[in-house]
Amino acid sequence: MYAVVDIETTGGKYNEEGVTEIAIYKFDGLKIVDQFISLVNPEKPIQPFVVNLTGINNDMLRNAPKFYEVARRIVEITQDCVLVAHNAKFDYRILRTEFKRLGFDFERKSLCTVELSKKLIPEQDSYSLGKLVKALGIPLSDRHRASGDAQATVKLFKMLLAKDIEKNILKDAVKIEPKRQVDTKLVYILEDLPGITGVYYFHNEEGEIIYIGKSRNIKKRVTQHFINEHHKARQLQKEVSSVSFEATGNELAALLKENQEIKQNKPKYNKTLKKNIFSHALYHSTDEHGYIQLKIGRAGKKNSITTFSSLKRAKNVLERWVEKYELCQKLCNLENGKGNCFNYTIKKCNGACIREESAESYNERVRALIDQHSYKNQHMLVIDRGRDIDEKSALLVEDGEFKGYGYFNLNHQINNIDIIRSIITPMKNDRDAQHIIQSYLRRNSRLKIIQLDPLTK
């Protein structure tokens, strides 16, 4: 299945353009089975030369949906499709840029009808869409409008499929990124890789590990390495001789394994982990009136509640917790000044900031937050997906220390602490591992956590 796309933009600086119109035709190789056409409000002015070219002006877009309002439809209609466009590098880049602004990684295989036309219809005077389809007798209406150009591209692509007698379109031209093709050696390596979650290892001819990585889809991630044009990536592509992998079943196990093994093996192409992977932490103290205060600070001090990869991330999480646990913005150092906090005025703070709520009552909720997110004195098992459908993974924490993880098939195995310890693969309890676990638990609140009896130690 193919999704034939054409996009019109505002023009302007590279990667700063906004989408003004999009047309997508879902094409099964014979006929159009679905379509989506819409003007889009780019939330920025259109360059004058683009207005003259397309006829789309700012007034036409004032009431049009913004990109985030059509993003879901774009994802749905292109799902499990190869993206086809005339100059696919442009249209694919624009889509990826817009989705990146929304915090979504939009990835599709793609085909460029410019490149295909040069191979299958050689010696044309021009391969611009307008001149090419005219030379081939393909009707084109509404030139430089998304719908008209996309319809012409569908007809051009249908012709190209018919001309591709050896079916080299799928074998040679389908790419994750337009323009770059993977050489033969790397293709053979990719054939043996699965699309599963785990850790992968690049080896040189001597079998030495030269790079370690993790991914929720090993095959997709290694493919990205192999099509990357960066100098370092090109060097890695030349040196890699084979790729091995280890399934982990879930991202948490993969992150922890990657963290430990990079530090142990120090592969040539991995950045040396000289610094912690977190920069800020949440601390607590008690003020003169007996209220527990929370404060974000630089990581490094002892007795932090939890850690964060950035100050922005720390503030975002703390603001959510203030709302969830009904805490005071002032006592969490998110607001300055005298008097009550803003949340008190909108009845979301019970008045701890002006000592209307007792310290005992307020501190009970703060301790609930600390108990939920702190490692201190924790005895627990974190249950996650295993490597197979009938398997689960178990991560063990005792006395606030990460001990390791393992896999089990039967529930009775996790009811016996001796069995748990025997199936666990011991891992180093460093601060990076602690940060990885705490961050993962924050992002995956539905994970099953079994509290262990500390007396079973």
Closest CA to 117 of 93, 138, 96, 140: 138
Q: Rounded to whole angstroms, how far apart are CA atoms 141 and 149? A: 8
Q: Rounded to whole angstroms, how far apart are CA atoms 97 and 91? A: 10
Give yes or no for a contact between 147 and 23, defined as CB atoms under 8 angstroms apart.
yes
pLDDT in the model for residue 172:
41
pLDDT in the model for residue 412:
66
pLDDT in the model for residue 20:
92
DSSP 354: G
pLDDT in the model for residue 363:
93
Q: Rounded to whole angstroms, how far apart are CA atoms 254 and 212? A: 11
Structure tokens at 141: 């209406």
Rounded alpha-carbon distances, angstroms, from residue 301 to 296, 305, 434: 11, 11, 14
Q: Rounded to whole angstroms, how far apart are CA atoms 127 and 133? A: 9
Give yes or no for a contact between 308 and 280, defined as CB atoms under 8 angstroms apart.
yes
Sheet with 380-385: list strands edge to edge.
425-426, 401-408, 392-398, 380-385, 448-451
CA atoms lying within 13 Å on the CB side of residue 261: 19
Q: Rounded to whole angstroms, how far apart are CA atoms 452 and 457? A: 9
CATH superfamily for domain 2-173: Ribonuclease H-like superfamily/Ribonuclease H (3.30.420.10)
Closest CA to 135 of 149, 145, 123: 123
List residues bridging with 243 in a β-sheet: 202
Mean pLDDT for each consecutive 10-residue tract of the chain (457 residues)? 91 87 86 91 90 89 92 91 91 92 89 88 86 80 87 87 58 38 72 88 85 92 88 89 87 91 87 68 90 89 82 90 91 88 88 91 91 79 87 87 83 74 81 86 84 65
Fold of 184-265: GIY-YIG endonuclease (3.40.1440)
